[in-house]
């Protein structure tokens, strides 16, 4: 079983209230091999919501909305919920939305809200990887760099 970011399958759970629909990703769901997850919603955040990015504060990764609200707790709760689902369905892989503070794989925004990208993983990606689940960025999957 494969976890996929729900926004990639057309669910309007993106922070703006929209989605990031991609037919190639949605086909994973259609063939019955995928489960949809949205860590932000699963952590209790509303949709739409203010955009958020990860910053390092006192040596610790924290997630802040653009208005300065610390939403680290909600992001961590959502990541734990996703991990629980992964365990229950024996998921071994996940295709998650690139650059997201939850789902980013290898590249995220730097916390300044200037669209500056840095190396790093989102909160959910980091937790899944720590638990042996292969996480693939939506960009790499869509571009055919990685298959599932």
Q: Where are the domains of the chain?
A: 2-142
As a whole number of angstroms, the distance between CA 116 and CA 125 comes to: 19
**Do the bridges between strand 117-119 and strand 93-96 make them parallel or antiparallel, or are there none, so unpaired?**
unpaired
Q: pLDDT band at 108, cuts 50/70/90? A: very high
What is the reported pLDDT for 148? 86
pLDDT of residue 1: 94
Three-class secondary structure of residue 76 per DSSP: helix
Length of the chain in terms of residues written: 148
What distance in Å separates the CA atoms of residue 31 and residue 36, rounded to the nearest whole number?
13
Residue 147 pLDDT greater than 90, yes or no: no
Category of 115 on φ-ψ map: left (φ > 0), alpha (ψ -120 to 50) or beta: left
Q: What is the mean pLDDT of residues 36-65?
A: 97
At residue 45, does pLDDT exceed 90?
A: yes
| pLDDT tens track for 125-142 | 999 999 999 999 999 999
Region 46-73 average pLDDT:
97
pLDDT per position as a tens digit, 68-94: 999 999 999 999 999 999 999 999 999
Name the H helices within the chain: 23-30, 39-42, 72-88, 123-130, 138-142
pTM to 2 decimals? 0.95
């Amino acid at each position: 079983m494969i976890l996929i970011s729900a926004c990639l399958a057309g669910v309007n759970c993106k922070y703006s209230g929209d989605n990031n629909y991609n037919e190639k990703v949605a086909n994973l769901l259609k063939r019955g091999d995928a489960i949809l997850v949205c860590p932000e919603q699963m952590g209790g955040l509303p949709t739409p919501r203010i955009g958020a990015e990860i910053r390092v504060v006192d040596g610790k990764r924290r997630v802040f909305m653009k208005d300065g609200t610390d939403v680290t707790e909600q992001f961590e709760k959502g990541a734990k919920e996703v991990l629980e689902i992964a365990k229950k369905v024996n998921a071994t892989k996940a295709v998650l939305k690139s650059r997201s503070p939850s789902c980013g794989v290898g590249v995220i925004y730097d916390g300044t809200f200037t669209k500056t990208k840095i190396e790093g993983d989102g909160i959910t990606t980091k937790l899944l990887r720590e638990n042996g689940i292969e996480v693939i960025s939506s960009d790499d999957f869509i571009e055919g760099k990685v298959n599932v």
